[in-house]
Amino acid sequence: MWSLPQLPRTRTLKRIGLLTSGGDAPGMNAAIRAVVRTALSRGIEVRGVQKGYSGLVAGHWVDMDRASVANILQTGGTALKTDRCDAFHDPTVRADTAARLRGAGLEALVVIGGDGSLSGAHLLEQETGFSVLGLPGTIDNDIWGTEDTIGFDTAVNTALEAIDRLRDTATSHERVFLVEVMGRNSGFIAATVGIAGGAEIVITPERPVDDETVLEALNLSQERGKHSSLIVVAEGEDPQFINRLNEHLNAAGYQARACILGHIQRGGSPTGHDRVLASCLGYAAVDHLQAGLSNIMLGVQENRVLGVPLSEVISRRRQTPEALLEVARVLAT
Ligand code: ADP
């Protein structure tokens, strides 16, 4: 459980907007529900924007009442839909959008999304003065200013379930399984899943290894009496890496198989952890707006919910902690 700050309610709000944007993440619905229910309990109306910034630019939003968020807490994806919107990169489009929002009586906007979505939100407030507040919604856990993001825990558990299953067949057939998990720039999912799934080798963008090093590690593992192995690979920049490594291992005499988990990791019912995280952040979003705070993202640090300026959040990327990568390496050998 995270501790929430007690904030004075210094700003009177009548109507706010809410959207989800960029890659979807399990738990976004729990955050939507929390924002809507908290706002309504304080007499604030909520307009739900459809399909992220595309819907914002086009003025596609609907009134949200308590019933509109019933039964979504446990569902994956996002009930508000999401999108990628090239037009929002244009400052004139952002200026027109702010004017449209003000014209509709909206006073602030809550944006749930990843790094890109938070960048768009920051620019909207910086250029137009329209209040925004961001919540970190991404399975990658690579956002600066928070130790956790909505969807990460669920994605890890989804990948782990697949890995446990692959372990069964790897053991039975005495095979090597290469499992690719998400994470183009970050090995956070791979390292976490590698530790939790007892992987023999974990390969991340932070600690890349070549085919020969993997082969040597596998040979060593065989010499120690292991007849099957699980190698967790973060997707990284090179989409062919896992297939090339698979061929290399087969050519060296191993019975290797590659399995790419892909978008399976994005979907599914959020874990209890992600539901509570999203609920607390959604609740705190309304609190912070009512305290007159904006152009911030809410994150968690040392078990506390706190606001971080969006200018800071978008100027850096959170790295996978070295200690986590080291635990994954040591326990794998
Ligand atoms: P995510 O939020 O998951 O990182 P994207 O990077 O695709 O996903 O961003 C989602 C959307 O946010 C983009 O399609 C665009 O509409 C908006 N966006 C991203 N970066 C910027 C930016 N620098 N300026 C304005 N809008 C942006």
Q: Convert 76-103 to b/e letters by CB count within 10 Å (16 or more is b).
A: bbbbbbbbebeebeeeebbeebbeebee
Distance 86 CA to ligand 1 centre (A): 8
Q: Is the beta carbon of 144 within 6 A of some atom in ligand 1?
A: no
61 lines ligand 1 (CB under 6 A): no
Q: Specify the pLDDT at position 248.
A: 95
Model confidence, pTM: 0.96
- 251 contact partners, CB below 8 Å, separation of at least 6: none
- Mean residue pLDDT of the chain comes to 96
115 Cα–ligand 1 center, Å: 7
- Residue to probe by mutation, ligand 1, list 83, 84, 92, 313, most atoms within 8 Å of CB: 84
- Measure 167 CA to ligand 1 centroid, in angstroms: 37
Strands (E), the chain: 15-20, 45-49, 61-64, 108-113, 131-136, 176-181, 201-203, 229-234, 256-260, 296-301, 304-309
138 lines ligand 1 (CB under 6 A): yes
Q: What is the dihedral of CA 9, 10, 12, 13, to 10 degrees?
A: -70
Distance 88 CA to ligand 1 centre (A): 8
pLDDT digits (tens, 9 = 90+) for 53-79: 999 999 999 999 999 999 999 999 999
Strands 229-234 and 201-203: parallel
Only one residue has tokens 């459809």, namely 50
* Chain segment 25-58, per-residue pLDDT in tens: 999 999 999 999 999 999 999 999 999 999 999 9
Give the homologous superfamily in CATH for domain 154-266: Phosphofructokinase domain (3.40.50.460)
Q: Mutation test of ligand 1: which of 53, 54, 115, 117 has the most ligand atoms closer than 8 Å to its C-beta?
A: 117
The reported pLDDT for the residue numbered 154 is 98
Tell me if 15-151+270-315 shares its fold with 154-266: yes
Tokens 């062919």 found at: 240
Residues marked active site are found at 140
Domain extents in the chain = 15-151+270-315, 154-266
85 lines ligand 1 (CB under 6 A): yes
Q: From the options 3.30.2270.10, 3.40.50.450, 1.10.150.120, 3.30.420.10, give the CATH code of 15-151+270-315.
A: 3.40.50.450
Residues 86-124 pLDDT 10s? 999 999 999 999 999 999 999 999 999 999 999 999 999
Cβ 116 under 6 angstroms from ligand 1:
yes
